[in-house]
Amino acid sequence: MAQDTSTPAERSTAHVDGNALAGALALAFGTDMTTATVQCGDCDDRHRVAATHVYLRCPGMVMRCPACGATEIVLTEIRGRIGLHVRRVTAISFA
């Protein structure tokens, strides 16, 4: 298979941050998650949920590692129900 030789565009401004997920994540977890710390499953970086990069201009809501861009969580809100899909996360510690 062809190698992924791409590099992410620098200074992209297509994202917001984990604060934008406060409502959806609070519904999923029952508590505020923006202060929680996440460890990335790809690069091991530890960061607050508030500091993640979040993409909203797409079908769902995609939370990515601010250090390496890996997809950490995909959230959907379909017919009023939150769907939480954990992808590249090794640990979440609650504040």
Ligand X SMILES: Cc1cc2nc3c(=O)[nH]c(=O)nc-3n(C[C@H](O)[C@H](O)[C@H](O)COP(=O)(O)OP(=O)(O)OC[C@H]3O[C@@H](n4cnc5c(N)ncnc54)[C@H](O)[C@@H]3O)c2cc1C
| Residue ranges in contact with ligand X by CB under 6 A | 16, 19-20, 57
For residue 27, state whether it binds another protein (rule: CB under 8 A). Answer: yes
Long-range contact list for 3-10, CB < 8 A, 24+ apart? Answer: 8/69
Query: Token pair for residue 71?
Result: 């997809």
Kindly state the smallest distance separating residue 67's Cβ from another protein, in Å. 12
What does the block give as tokens for 1? 């298979």
Residue 67 binding result from another protein, ligand X, Zn ion, none, given CB thresholds of 5 to 8 Å by partner type: Zn ion
Where along the sequence are the contacts to Zn ion (CB under 5 A)? 40, 42-43, 45, 65, 67-68, 70
CA-to-CA distance for 62 and 89, rounded, in angstroms? Answer: 13
Q: Which is nearer to another protein, 14 or 43 (CB)?
A: 14
User: Is residue 52 at the binding interface for another protein, with CB under 8 A as the rule?
Assistant: no
Residue pair 70/79 in contact by the 8 Å Cβ criterion: no
